[in-house]
Amino acid sequence: MGLLQQVAFTLMTAVSTWVFARRAMAIRRNIRLGRPEDLSDRPGERLRNLLLQAFGQRRMFRNPLAATMHLVIYGGFVIINIEVLEIVLDGVLGTHRLFAPLLGGAYPWLIGAFEVLAAGVVLVCIGFLARRHLMGVRRFQGSDLDGWPRRDAAIILMAEIVLMGLFLTMNAADTLLQARGYGEYAAHPTGDLPVSAWLQPLLSGLSVPGLVAVERACWWLHIAGILAFLNYLPRSKHLHILLAFPNAWYVRLAPAGRMPNMPEVQREVAYALDPALAATAPASEEAPPRFGARDVADLTWKNLMDAYSCTECGRCTAACPASQTGKRLSPRRIMMATRDRLEEVGAGIDRHGNLTDDGRSLLRDHISEEELHACTTCNACVTECPVGISPLDIILRMRRYLVMEEGAAPQEWTMMFGNVENSFAPWKIGSGERETWGRD
């Protein structure tokens, strides 16, 4: 590789890394718009979640076939990063197969394993495209995926196929040049490799300059495609490839049925039940700026990280009883709408330099009251999510805002609230007569 190509490659890599870093910082800023939440307890259990859920993909294996297919793509992503490291160093230093002399006889075996994995990724991506677009798997047919979300999934799968194809074609041309004893290609022979050897007959009729052109074109397109993928990732649902790991670490460890309460509300209830306690309350206590959540800045940073971590797989919606019975609620759409609104707020910060009121909010502009009231709080969505996301927590916070700030609740709820307030029970029965309903 000549000096000019080294400089061009280094500039391309540096610019791509800078663009990615800017986007990553914008996402970090957006997540930090959320309210604080302490999730630093029980580090041993958090490490176990990280290993089993993020690395081991434990929840995925409820469906062994889909989990195995996903594991192949996941393995391809990890392994290809090792291969990319060599390509980047070759591009910057002007070398060819830099790791070959360092690894000796293990190098051909390693590249051969990469090829087998690459072929597996191609087959699995074709299978996933078929599941999404030909087989009619129900959770991929929801209207919340119409438009960009459906195209996004297809783009990623097709990009994976193209990148793996370029890698295998590059190796096929490289091994043919080795066999012909040409230049630096012959200096680090790998011999025929298990998958690219099947592609050699397609290229064997080319001259040496033709093979060099094919190998160099595939090399440049492969690394350029990976750098493009790097910058597409933070604008795609596939950001979960990176955020699944911190999200698994910071998953809430409280029992699934325990709903988070606001200390301010608990304090006010305690004061109402015990006036003497209210008399001793410190003067510094202030009411919270808002009960519940109307917009993304009212949610916690973990809610916002959940939104960016969503894989849009639809397992939550498929398990949701409200969704199954035809209600408008889709837990997947709750997460997608939260992310869309967060991106909208972030774009406003980019334009104005700070957080400003744009006259819109997460409630009603992105998520309707009908969706929020349809939730049964059964936790099925939380249980099913493979990366530890809780759509329920967002729903509860937004419902709390509707009830406590706007007094907006279905009539049945309002009657129950009144009974609890007056009789300390959901029914209109005095506390001294609670057992009368069961006497007969």
Q: Is the pLDDT of residue 390 over 70?
A: yes
pLDDT of residue 288: 66
In 195-254, alpha helices (H): 200-203, 208-232, 240-249
Residue 401 CB coordination number (10 Å): 21
pLDDT of residue 337: 96
For the chain, the 3-state helix, strand and coil shares in percent, each to the nearest 5, are 70, 0, 30
More confident residue, 132 or 381: 381
CB 142 within 8 A of CB 332: yes
In 32-97, alpha helices (H): 43-49, 64-93
Q: What is the DSSP letter of 253?
A: -
Q: Cα angle vertex 296, ends 150, 376, to 5°?
A: 75
Choose among 373, 383, 372: nearest CA to 319: 383
Choose among 347, 346, 315: nearest CA to 332: 315
Where do we find the tokens 């990553």? 24
47 contacts: CB under 8 Å, gap ≥ 6:
249
CB 216 within 8 A of CB 8: no
DSSP string, 131-183: HHHTS--GGG--GGGTTHHHHHHHHHHHHHHHHHHHHHHHHHHHHHHHHTT-H
Pairwise CA distance, residues 330 & 144, whole Å = 8
Kindly state the tokens that stand for 301.
């940073």
Please report, in angstroms and rounded to a whole number, the separation of the first and last CA atoms in the chain.
Answer: 92
Where do we find the tokens 């992503």? 77
C-beta pairs of 14-21 under 8 Å, 24+ apart in sequence:
16/227, 16/228, 16/230, 16/231, 17/230, 19/231, 20/230, 20/231, 20/234
CB 392 within 8 A of CB 382: yes
CA count, 13 A, side-chain hemisphere, 383: 11
Distances (CA, A) of 110 to 103, 117, 213, 372: 9, 11, 25, 52
Q: Is the pLDDT of residue 50 over 80?
A: yes
Distances (CA, A) of 17 to 10, 216, 229, 231, 232: 11, 22, 11, 8, 12
Residue 192 CB coordination number (10 Å): 17
pLDDT of residue 440: 66
Q: Is the pLDDT of residue 4 over 90?
A: no
From 70-84, 124-138, 200-214, the region with the lowest mean pLDDT: 70-84
Pairwise CA distance, residues 150 & 146, whole Å = 6
Most confident of 58-62, 182-186, 270-274, 289-293: 182-186
Determine what percent of the chain is predicted with pLDDT higher than 90: 49
Q: Is the pLDDT of residue 285 over 80?
A: no
Give the pLDDT band (50/70/90) at residue 237: confident
308-353 pLDDT tens trace? 999 898 999 999 999 999 999 999 999 999 999 999 999 999 999 8
CB 319 within 8 A of CB 380: yes
CATH class of 263-428: mainly alpha
CB 237 within 8 A of CB 149: yes
pLDDT of residue 344: 96
Report the chain's mean pLDDT, rounded to a whole number.
88
Task: Calculate the CA 4 to chain-centre distance.
Answer: 38
Q: Where are the domains of the chain?
A: 3-31+63-238, 263-428
Pairwise CA distance, residues 310 & 241, whole Å = 10
Q: What is the pTM of this model?
A: 0.86
Residue 73 CB coordination number (10 Å): 19
pLDDT of residue 284: 62
433 contacts: CB under 8 Å, gap ≥ 6:
none
Residue 422 CB coordination number (10 Å): 11
